[in-house]
Structure 1
């Protein structure tokens, strides 16, 4: 059966549900069925009941079903992308809605292709010990509103591959996208292997404390992550936490500003800056500072922003009013401090939607709130430095450390600087790219635990050593 946009929406909405509005226009997208804690408890019970049969399937069977799920997403890619664009706001084109849906299918395939076999640890004639990776049971997943489908797959795919079942609580802002994704998965997967329950924050609190949730995966703010750590303590839950970041980029003096401008721009402004591992504060050597600012402004001024369904656009609105207000307040504080607004900084108060113009802020102090607080939107502060030591000190000066980047024509010099930066991932001459085979996770208050690749599979497994 062919899945259309209308048929997809009819499967996941409810007449008495919560209104979900398009952040670009304010128009109704659909009514999301927000459920109670009792409904969540029932979903957990069903996931628990379904888990033994799922775990008893062979690894090859589970891999085959993940591949079929990827094919199902591909077959429904256009209606999924349209719904995502309407609900989240991101454009269809560019590294946005179609890209995100495609990434869901690609991640399922990559997860199916990744191997985590048991292995012999020691066999010396006296001692024989092997390690094996067993299912945990039911994995809980709490996702964000910025990449709702893709991050849900990041949580679902490895958990399923290792024999767990999953209960997902999507963000209140983007529940329809995740419900639609689950509907497509359900056309292939056994009943109750993946369960999505939309609702308020009390559902997340229940997931983090429920005794039948063996592992919780969370992507979101540091503050919420800290609450999850506390509420999961009584049940000693395993946790993977990908929390807030305020990623630094360091541009060394030997770069060609024009050559790096596009990569710098998209490192900061992918998904209109609404990405955990986006470049959020840029440190530029004084020798190339003015040229980098000029080239970035040129890219910003020629990159179209608007409603996502218009395929000419590659930047969209902020997803919600709360985030719009955060960005506007931080830019206003920067302006009041005497910083230079190179471009943007003046949203149209009369226009519909939560559009904040692409904004570059120069001549700003490192202590300014736009630098020290995560803006999570289309506003990039550009700080001047004179020595590498100064740049590294500023980059390491915050209590978060998700990602960072170093930009240089000299790879050895860049790698030497990268080794000094306190971040889970440091990119060289790019920023924010992730790969399904490369582990990803933060340090400091950006969380703990690794996703992707072999390490990601291990993180949703219970290692068991057999000694003898």
Structure 2
């Protein structure tokens, strides 16, 4: 099994890849992101203190190393977590060997709030659904749809939560939000927030980073009164900026949520479970959470639809994806 990991949760996602692969009896070659190799190197060193030599292997480097891994004839299965663009390249490069592939790719997760909620009760859950790991999570909520009847209530409640979430160096215990991992990602978030401002959207909190501050700190940013086709909504920001889009009918919200070519996660927020389930059943996503967002569980299959990839991790189905079915008939 070849495993190519991302920079946003380097150790955790590496465990998601290597643990089931080893459990199903495979040897593994891991390639961590060139942005975050050190923690994964340390993890593999610890694991290899008890594994036989050659079972778990690690190679580091940039995309050329990943490309070599994906074209290797010695790889029977490839697991990749990362961007849709790179996922497409992996599919192309594995064509010659016909290696099996599990892809967990980019998402632009939608959350839909229904008009029966208590805005203050759900505000913190909405915030962390979007801003966990400072928004650098594939299955974080990246666009929020709110009915016009309670739009101002939800917006005000979110602003109150955001104002009380300190950002800073992680070694300082009071901080709960940290920096973006690299300059490239900082520039993407900065560009998309500027596009929202240029489009006439209203920045409620954040939006103006201190460019002279060391580290790639972008303040937690909430953006209201934004069009659904604005780049901050239509493109995955992968950072601490949440656009809040107003809708008139639930059908309109579902249509907007399904309008993009990605479908990793989604969520529905309601005081009525049956009503929430009815809306959830119409969303195009690998996972839809009710009154939560991004709560993955290793016992439950997790994967995407559309351009968010194929195959699943976790659960029995994820384990099955790391072995060949073999029928002995006779």
Q: Place the TM-score, normalised by the shorter chain, in its bin.
A: over 0.9
Secondary structure of 2:86's aligned partner? helix
Deviation, structure 1 residue 466:
2.1
Give the TM-score taking structure 2 as reference length.
0.99
Give the TM-score taking structure 1 as reference length.
0.70
Q: Deviations over 1:72-125 (max 9, x none)?
A: xxxxxxxxxxxxxxxxxxxxxxxxxxxxxxxxxxxxxxxxxxxxxxxxxxxxxx
Secondary structure of 2:53's aligned partner? coil
Mapped to 2, the partners of 1:256 and 1:384 lie a distance apart of 17
Q: Hey, what does 2:44 align to over in structure 1?
A: 182
Mapped to 2, the partners of 1:222 and 1:251 lie a distance apart of 27
Deviation, structure 1 residue 351:
1.0
Mapped to 2, the partners of 1:259 and 1:190 lie a distance apart of 51
Deviation, structure 1 residue 185:
0.7
The alignment covers a number of residue pairs equal to 330
Map 1:52-71 onto structure 2 (within 5 A): none
Between 284-293 and 324-333, report the one with greater CA deviation: 284-293
Q: Hey, what does 2:130 align to over in structure 1?
A: 268
Mapped to 1, the partners of 2:328 and 2:282 lie a distance apart of 39
Deviation, structure 1 residue 251:
0.2
Q: Hey, what does 1:164 align to over in structure 2?
A: 26
Mapped to 2, the partners of 1:430 and 1:153 lie a distance apart of 24
- Gaps of at least 5 residues in structure 2 are none
Map 1:378-393 onto structure 2 (within 5 A): 378-393=240-255
**Of 143, 147, 151, which residue of structure 2 is paired with 1:289?**
151
- Are 2:179 and 1:317 equivalent residues in the alignment? yes
Q: Hey, what does 2:322 align to over in structure 1?
A: 460
Q: Hey, what does 1:173 align to over in structure 2?
A: 35
Query: Which one has a larger percent helix, Structure 1 or Structure 2?
Result: 1
- Are 2:272 and 1:410 equivalent residues in the alignment? yes
Mapped to 2, the partners of 1:288 and 1:187 lie a distance apart of 56
4+ residue runs over 2 A deviation: none
Mapped to 1, the partners of 2:317 and 2:62 lie a distance apart of 31
Q: Hey, what does 2:110 align to over in structure 1?
A: 248
Mapped to 1, the partners of 2:202 and 2:326 lie a distance apart of 57
- Gaps of at least 5 residues in structure 1 are 1-138
Deviation, structure 1 residue 191:
1.3
Q: Hey, what does 1:377 align to over in structure 2?
A: 239
Q: What is the aligned-residue RMSD (CA, Å)?
A: 0.6
Q: Deviations over 1:266-301 (max 9, x none)?
A: 000000000000000000011111111111111111
Q: Hey, what does 1:85 align to over in structure 2?
A: none
Mapped to 1, the partners of 2:263 and 2:305 lie a distance apart of 5
- Are 2:59 and 1:197 equivalent residues in the alignment? yes
Map 1:100-139 onto structure 2 (within 5 A): 139=1
Q: Hey, what does 1:333 align to over in structure 2?
A: 195
Mapped to 1, the partners of 2:45 and 2:158 lie a distance apart of 41
Deviation, structure 1 residue 189:
1.4
Mapped to 2, the partners of 1:272 and 1:283 lie a distance apart of 20
Map 1:297-312 onto structure 2 (within 5 A): 297-312=159-174
**Of 421, 426, 450, which residue of structure 1 is paired with 2:288?**
426
Radius of gyration: which is bigger?
1
Q: Hey, what does 1:398 align to over in structure 2?
A: 260
Deviation, structure 1 residue 467:
2.4
Q: Deviations over 1:101-159 (max 9, x none)?
A: xxxxxxxxxxxxxxxxxxxxxxxxxxxxxxxxxxxxxx000000000000000000010
Deviation, structure 1 residue 186:
1.1
Q: Hey, what does 2:218 align to over in structure 1?
A: 356
Deviation, structure 1 residue 347:
0.4
